[in-house]
Amino acid sequence: MVVSSAPGKVYLFGEHAVVYGEPAVPCAIERRAQVTAEERDDDRIRVRAEDLSLDGFTVEYGSASDAAPDVDVAESLVEAGMGYVDAAVEQARDAADAPEAGFDITVESEIPLGGGLGSSAAVAVAGIDAGARELGVELSTEEIAERAYRAELAVQDGEASRADTFCSATGGAVRVEGDDCRAIEAPALPLVIGFDGGAGDTGELVAGVRALREEYDFAADTVSGIGDLVRRGERALADGDLEELGRLMDFNHGLLEALGVSSRSLDNMVWAARDADALGAKLTGAGGGGCIVALDPSDGTETALKFTPGCEDAFRAELDTEGVRVEDR
């Protein structure tokens, strides 16, 4: 039996635009998904999933032919969550050249499912590491990131970027532009997360941006503008200029709003953070619901979010400098 974990993430800048080759800067946060893999004597896969949202739920099934699990979340989220587990298993089997290996798998996550904090990437990264190690193969961080990217690509119908999986595998702050992925230096960041309890449909939101970009030149210019903003944000990050980082986060949220990927609940949380004197605030991830990230060294934003209608949870999130790792059994 092997237990591996990987962190979630927030985007300081660049979500959606990264799909079109523009740069993005995600940062790993100290909320993790943990996957336990134990090889079976047959070729069946049994998955037990716990706490895949902040409220928590449990899913158990023995095979793809079993009835759908009875849980109080959108069926599309459950299917997607299990899809990432299945894709991770396939990558672990491939790495070990064991196409018929069976597993008992347990997934435990502190990361809200579909909330924009990289839950799927963390599950894929930790699942591949745990599954491969259980089959006797130790993969490099780079190969885990590559295989997790392939897993997300398969589940998301070719619309995934390398940003989430690379960040989860390596930890810390990273810069992703197309196939160019690398770690970058970052100061301690006073991050505050607000969660509305919901989730956007990543595929639908990405497709919506694609349609806008193809129909309107100014939408394509907006995507390019996000890329320009990211490059300026990198300089502010290197300089440790938190005030400039906050201003650019505000701009980034406005551009994402223009692309139609925000929501009333996300906007309400962003404005609550700004009214509480956060240095900056924006949605993080695909949008449509889920989480915002604010930059605030004080307690003001966290307190304000807890009293904001539509915000189900608010918490401080430290930068996690460690990526995928093996946990004590």
Which residues are marked as active site?
164
**276's torsion region: left (phi>0), alpha (psi -120 to 50) or beta?**
alpha
Total residue length of the chain: 329
Pairing verdict, β 2-13 and 25-39: antiparallel
What value, to the nearest 5°, has the Cα angle with vertex 299 and ends 293 and 304? Answer: 65
Nearest-angstrom CA–CA distance, 170 and 123: 14
- Tell me the C-alpha distance between 124 and 151, whole Å: 7
Which residue is listed with tokens 């899913």? 59
The dihedrals phi and psi of 251, each to the nearest 5 degrees, come to: -60, -45
Alpha-helical segments (H) within the chain: 75-96, 119-134, 141-155, 163-170, 202-215, 217-239, 242-258, 264-275, 300-306
> Closest by alpha carbon to 276, among 240, 306, 251, 303?
303
How far, in Å, CA of 267 to CA of 288, rounded?
10
